[in-house]
């Protein structure tokens, strides 16, 4: 199994904390030796995204594609597809990539595209998940790793973490607790995909 190269490309828009958790776990758990897998590139749609500097420090190739410079979503996604394809990815990992992808891009990477969402899907797809969970009186919130389909925040669930909603919780406090779990379940889900039983 380890003779096969399994390239992972990660897409980010901000600090890239999930990206960093994946990279650190891949090194600690020796993904390259065990599965032939490594993170080969980090791509962002935001110029100066914090996570890019961290990835560069780890010796990972980085690239910025500023979505505001493209005339349409389709034009941006076509350029993004071409940039991702240069790295011949086994997995394309969305880690805080704040763009809704076109059906063409989703179809192009079908079966290889993975996302993490800060709710217990199928509950609270879309944005402002933590505040919506609090407003709904939920006793539990969490995060979900799932395959990406053309329907937003749907697709096969690969892993989930449950986090209690505490009395007096704010969206920010809940988000911070959920994020610590995201950093655990995202690498775990990817490891399972790289090494199916």
CATH number of the domain that residue 25 is part of:
3.40.50.170
Residue 68 located in a structural domain: yes
Q: Is position 117 annotated as part of the catalytic site?
A: yes
Residue 100 located in a structural domain: yes
Residue 1 located in a structural domain: no
- In the sheet with 6-12, reading across from the earlier edge strand, the strands are 61-64, 37-44, 6-12, 89-94, 113-117, 140-147, 157-164
Residue 78 located in a structural domain: yes
- Give the domain range for residue 94: 6-194
pLDDT over 90 (residue 76): yes
The neighbouring-strand residues paired with 93 are: 10, 114
**Tens digit of pLDDT for each residue in 21-43?**
999 999 999 999 999 999 999 99
How many angstroms separate the CA atoms of 4 and 195, rounded? Answer: 12
- Nearest Cα to Cα of residue 73 among 103, 53, 51: 103
Instruction: Supply the pTM of this predicted model.
Output: 0.95
Q: Say which DSSP state 68 is in.
A: G
Residue 134 located in a structural domain: yes
User: What is the tally of helices (H) and strands (E) in the chain?
Assistant: 7, 7
Q: Which of 117, 130, 146, 183 is catalytic?
A: 117
Q: Mean pLDDT, to the nearest integer, of 71-87?
A: 97
Average pLDDT, the chain: 95
Give me the number of domains the chain comprises. Answer: 1
Q: Looking at residue 196, what is its pLDDT?
A: 80
Q: Looking at residue 197, what is its pLDDT?
A: 66
Residue 102 located in a structural domain: yes
Any idea what the Cα angle at residue 35 is, between residues 29 and 39, rounded to 5°?
70
Q: Looking at residue 2, what is its pLDDT?
A: 41
Enter the tokens of residue 121: 């899907």
Q: Looking at residue 166, what is its pLDDT?
A: 97
**Tens digit of pLDDT for each residue in 148-171?**
998 888 899 999 999 999 999 999
Q: Which long-range contacts (CB under 8 A, 24 or more apart) does 107-110 make?
A: 107/150, 108/81, 109/81, 109/84, 109/148
């Amino acid at each position: 199994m380890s003779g096969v190269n399994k390239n992972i490309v990660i897409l980010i828009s901000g600090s890239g904390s999930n990206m960093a958790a994946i990279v650190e776990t891949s090194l600690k758990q020796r993904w390259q030796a065990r599965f032939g897998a490594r993170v080969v590139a980090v791509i962002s749609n935001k110029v100066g995204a914090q996570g890019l500097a961290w990835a560069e420090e780890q010796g990972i190739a980085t690239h910025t594609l500023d979505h505001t410079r493209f005339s349409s979503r389709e034009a941006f996604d076509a350029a993004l597809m071409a940039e991702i394809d240069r790295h011949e990815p086994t997995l394309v990992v969305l880690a805080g990539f704040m763009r809704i992808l076109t059906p063409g891009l989703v179809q192009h990477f079908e079966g290889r595209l993975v996302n993490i969402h800060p709710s217990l899907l199928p509950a609270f797809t879309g944005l402002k998940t933590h505040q919506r969970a609090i407003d709904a009186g939920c006793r539990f919130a969490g995060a979900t790793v799932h395959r990406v389909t053309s329907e937003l925040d749907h697709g096969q669930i690969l892993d989930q973490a449950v986090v209690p909603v505490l009395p007096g919780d704010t969206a920010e406090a809940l988000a911070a607790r959920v994020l610590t779990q995201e950093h655990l379940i995202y690498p775990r889900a990817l490891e399972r995909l790289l090494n199916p039983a």
